[in-house]
Amino acid sequence: MKKDPQIEKILKPYNEDVKRHMTALSEDFQGRVKVVAEQFGSLNKKIDKMQTTLESHTEMIGELLIDVTTVKEDVKSIKESLKTKVNHKEFVELKRQVLAE
């Protein structure tokens, strides 16, 4: 495409202004992208830390579940054994009757 020398002459003073403006816009954009990239890196670190904490809590919850299951089994066993035992008052009365004979 052939350029008209007259148009080039008219636009020439503006070429440097347009280049400077485009350079300024590019630098501004790159600076903003850099800030976003830094924030992204920071957020990734926070997410990794939270993931580690979550894994730790999941492990603790698993251990607590095992402990609670054991406690429930123990309580059930104690309840069953208490059903077969004699009440303290009944025991004292029975002892008194045996000693009286």
Q: Distance between CA atoms of 56 and 64, rounded to whole angstroms? A: 12
**Full-model pTM:** 0.51
Cα atoms in the 13 Å half-sphere on the side-chain side of 18? 5
Give the model's pLDDT for residue 55.
97
Residue 59: what pLDDT? 97
Least confident of 58-67, 68-77, 86-95: 86-95
Rounded mean pLDDT, 22-28: 96
Mean pLDDT of 77-90: 79
Average pLDDT score over residue span 31-43: 95
Residue 35 confidence (pLDDT): 95
Query: What residues does each domain of the chain span?
Result: 5-100
